[in-house]
Amino acid sequence: MVPKAVLVLVAIFSWLATAAITLTVLTFGPGNLSGTNQGPALQAISAEQTPATALPRYDLMPVFTLTDQNGRPFGLNDLRGKVWVVDTIFTRCTAICPTLTGGMKQIQSALKLDGQFDERVRLVSISVDGGHDSPDVLKQYAKGYKAEPDRWIFLTGERDVVWPLINDGLRLAVGEPESGEEMEILHSGKLVLIDRAGVIRGYYDGLTEAGRIELLADLSRLLDEG
């Protein structure tokens, strides 16, 4: 169990870190984006430290099938009965993606430490750059972050399939950059928490320690829902 004072210090640390960094990010969904993935390893939070109110229920995810890093079809049916966390990335991104994927690695480590990274949980990273991010490219990218291959899934697909899924399913933004933007593709820095029934239950700042800690707490609560 993590003392509340530690959580406050982590949040303060994240705020100080972000004061020196400016990121241009297109976002959509509840909450604001800011931050970096620098800081100590995350630790899962027990349900005793979270509010008693039920998590909100947003949209039901549509049925989809993409291609995973092993070249196999993978979609909503493979995630039924799991609690899953989703982010959107692309391997050539040098802006927010290293922070996002590094943060997902921290979440993976925290779940493993707490014994929760099992058949009940999946991490999912969806590439917004399917023209470049083939399964082989994603597989090498995943290895670079020591992703557990059966539990942290990297997905790719044609743009006309992936982008509507992100826009209309996850309710996150993705799009072409305006002239002069450094990023080749603009996309959200949010993490999305989805329950066993495929219902979105929360949006979190994927670029800060505070956002990841909040997600871990809510993920634990979803696991306790049974």
Return the CATH number at 52.
3.40.30.10
Read off the pLDDT band of 53 (50, 70, 90). low
**Pair 211, 17: CB distance under 8 Å:** no
Structural domain count of the chain: 1
Residues 6+ apart with CB under 8 A from 133: 90, 91, 127, 141, 156
pLDDT at 14: 42
pTM of the model: 0.78
For 74-114, how does the pLDDT look when each residue is reduced to its tens digit (9 = 90+)? 999 999 999 999 999 999 999 999 999 999 999 999 999 99
Mean pLDDT, the chain, whole residue set = 82
Write out the residue range of the structural domain in which residue 205 sits. 4-224
**What average pLDDT does this structure show over 159-168?**
97
pLDDT at 37: 34
pLDDT at 178: 72
Encoded tokens for 35:
């931050």
